[in-house]
């Protein structure tokens, strides 16, 4: 099924708070326990040095081989969710916020 460009444009203008989720069932803990990240097709990577909290790195490493790919997938999902909102004020998280 394809969505007409015009309809896709209309859908993108709907505010999140105006979406009716009443018929969408809640996803319980069991769903998330068994969910797997979708890994997008390979793209060029850039090597850099990054600092993450130790508990975050430990958690991803405990998931097994491919933990860096999964970390990348989580960052990609966040980026995709925020795409188009770059000009909104950022909410600061952490000390002093």
pLDDT for the residue numbered 49? 94
What is the number of alpha carbons within 13 Å of residue 46 lying toward its C-beta? 3
Residue 71 lies in a domain: yes
Confirm whether 75 is domain-assigned: yes
Q: What is the pLDDT of residue 89?
A: 61
How many domains does one find in the chain?
1
Q: Is the dihedral of CA 71, 73, 77, 80 positive or negative?
A: positive
pLDDT value for 60: 95
Do the domain assignments include residue 38? Answer: no
pLDDT value at 7 more than 70: yes
Say which DSSP state 14 is in. S
| 70 lies in some domain | yes
Containing domain of residue 78, as a range?
53-84
Residue 8 has pLDDT above 80, yes or no: yes
> Does the pTM of the predicted model rise above 0.95?
no
**66 located within any domain:** yes
Mean pLDDT of the chain: 83
Q: Is residue 45 part of a domain?
A: no
Residue 80 lies in a domain: yes
Residue 90 in domain: no
């Amino acid at each position: 099924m394809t969505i007409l460009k015009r309809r896709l444009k209309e859908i993108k203008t709907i505010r999140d708070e105006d979406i009716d989720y009443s018929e969408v069932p809640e996803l319980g803990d069991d769903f998330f326990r068994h969910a797997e990240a979708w890994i997008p097709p390979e793209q060029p990577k850039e090597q850099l040095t990054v600092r993450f909290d130790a508990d975050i790195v430990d958690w991803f490493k405990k998931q097994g081989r491919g933990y860096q790919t999964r970390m990348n997938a989580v960052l990609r999902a966040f980026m995709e969710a925020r795409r188009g909102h770059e000009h909104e004020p950022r909410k600061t998280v952490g000390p002093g916020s």
